[in-house]
Structure 1
Amino acid sequence: MPHILIVGDVAKESAGPSIVKELKDKAPGHAFDVVIITAGYFAKESLDEPNFDSEVLMYKTSSIGPVFVVHHLQKANLLKEGSKIILVSSESGSIALRHESEGGGNYGHHASKTALNMVGKLLSLDLKGKGIAVGIVHPGFMRTEMTKGVGFDKFWDAGGAVTPDAAAVTLSAFIESFDMRKTGQYWAPRGPGDIGTVEDVLGPRSELPTPLQLPW
């Protein structure tokens, strides 16, 4: 099965048909064993300065676009029994893990990830009868331009942030073991180490497993 990377803007309604066309052009006649949808936009907000347009874009990117991408993949028969869909979310989408030690704000980013978690759960119900598993993952606290752009680079070292290539290795191993027994579930493949509020909510890191199933 070919490995194909597609870069596109899932916030656009045209993304689904465009992705289907590109996949069919690059791998004619193939259905895909694993589809990973990773898309995000982070505009930092506070209650004093919420941003309407940025919030709309965050929801479109994180939680609306993936529904339509999966819809078009499924209708084009690019998914099969045994396929796995992995939605890259964030621990920031866990309502249970939001704690007073972290404070509020960042409404659009965090809530759009919570919405993506619900999307993943609902997709898992719709696709279970077709034998297609859907997973929702927090890949880790990332050392990327996105987190740097909102000032989170000051937390990288203390927070255990990792580079995308390191996160990809852990995610790949998790996907290998992921199947219908975990469909619709929300996981941190790297465990609790980079989740800032985990001890406030779930207890000592040393007593928590890796991978860690996250609370909604």
Structure 2
Amino acid sequence: MPTALIVGASRGLGLELAKTLHSKNYQVFATTRSPDAHIRKELGPDFPQEINIIPTIDLEQENAAKRIVSYLKGDLGLGAASGVGGVTKKLDLVIMNAGVFKADTLENPNWEDLLEMHKVVSIAPLMVASELYNASLFATPSKFVLITSEGGSIALRTREEGGGNYGHHSSKAAANMVGKLLSIDLYDEQVTVGLIHPGFMKTDMTKGVGYDEFYESGGAVEPSEAAKSTIDFILNELTHEISGSFWAPRGPRDIGQAERVLGPAMGNELPTPLPLPW
């Protein structure tokens, strides 16, 4: 049975990624910010009991990555209480899904919000990768995937798309660079790194910044649908030869400027999955 770790799995895409991998007979470890005493009630009766919850993981905290490794290795003495008894073998797949999106403009950037977005989105993936590597928890071969966003593509940012949301876009661009550098450092270790834009989704995060008004025009999908296409791409399309590259598994359908920016170079029919530019 292959083993997967989903970092950020209490709701939205992360929750659906964990459930999708479980349905594919993975042993799944899933981190949440909530204490274990509350999280299973929050996740509801449909959440598979076989998924191992790693509770109380706050990626804003410096020790979050170390705590994840300690739970995986059963070093905190909380295995029985948390449902995590420690991995019986190394990780075949790690997906960094946790994210924060807080709107800002040139007129009102918020220092704490900017720090939070960068800590969770671009710093935490490096810290988790480092701790897993130092603890020899990557299987050979294995995959380490960062859920980023087409919002982190500098080439796709155009005048038509508008400015603002500095923290969101800059943290996603930084996450892409972290992933690219990790792909270089981990290549000879047979760890394939993928950077993935899962699609425009109907989630609390997008609704919280007012993007729900674009759900219909932008073709937004439910997290369960995005999780399926994301996992299919990771398992079937993400090879070691393309480690460190940036992809949209659902293609150009929900990337506003894809046709205009990428069309001239790629021809009239953009492919699915779609390689994205930095």
**Shorter-normalised TM range:** over 0.9
2:209 pairs with one of 139, 150, 159: 150
Aligned partner of residue 187 in structure 1, secondary structure: strand
Q: Deviations over 1:183-206 (max 9, x none)?
A: 000000111100112122112896
What TM-score results when the alignment is normalised by the length of structure 1? Answer: 0.96
| Count of aligned residue pairs for this structure pair | 216
Aligned partner of residue 71 in structure 1, secondary structure: helix
Tell me, yes or no, if structure 1 residue 188 matches structure 2 residue 248.
yes
Map of 1:162 onto structure 2? 221
Map of 2:162 onto structure 1? 103
- Pick which of 14-23 and 139-148 moved more: 14-23
Map of 2:182 onto structure 1? 123
Map of 2:65 onto structure 1? 16
RMSD over aligned CA atoms reads 1.4
Task: Measure, in 1, the Cα distance between the counterparts of 2:98 and 2:87.
Answer: 25
- Structure 1: gaps spanning 5 or more residues: none
Map of 2:277 onto structure 1? 215
Map of 2:10 onto structure 1? none
Q: Deviations over 1:143-181 (max 9, x none)?
A: 100100000000011101111111110011101121211
What TM-score results when the alignment is normalised by the length of structure 2? Answer: 0.75
Equivalent position amino acid for 1:179 in 2: T
Equivalent position amino acid for 2:240 in 1: M
- C-alpha contact (below 8 Å) 1:135/1:183 kept by paired residues: yes
Map of 2:31 onto structure 1? 6
Question: In the superposition, relative to structure 1, how do residues 173 and 206 fare at CA in structure 2: closer, same or farther (>3 Å)?
Answer: farther
Q: Deviations over 1:35-74 (max 9, x none)?
A: 0011111110111111111111111111011100110111
Map of 2:89 onto structure 1? 30
Aligned partner of residue 53 in structure 1, secondary structure: helix
Equivalent position amino acid for 2:63 in 1: S
Task: Measure, in 1, the Cα distance between the counterparts of 2:28 and 2:105.
Answer: 40
Aligned partner of residue 170 in structure 1, secondary structure: helix
- C-alpha contact (below 8 Å) 2:259/2:270 kept by paired residues: no
Map of 2:109 onto structure 1? 50
Equivalent position amino acid for 2:220 in 1: A
Task: Measure, in 1, the Cα distance between the counterparts of 2:204 and 2:140.
Answer: 37
User: Which of structure 1's runs of 4+ aligned residues deviate more than 6 A?
Assistant: none
Q: Deviations over 1:81-105 (max 9, x none)?
A: 2100010000000000001111100
Tell me, yes or no, if structure 1 residue 200 matches structure 2 residue 249.
no
Task: Measure, in 2, the Cα distance between the counterparts of 1:10 and 1:31.
Answer: 22
Map of 2:24 onto structure 1? none
TM superposition shift of 1:30:
1.2
- C-alpha contact (below 8 Å) 2:203/2:222 kept by paired residues: yes
Tell me, yes or no, if structure 1 residue 71 matches structure 2 residue 149.
no
Task: Measure, in 1, the Cα distance between the counterparts of 2:31 and 2:109.
Answer: 32
Map of 2:53 onto structure 1? none
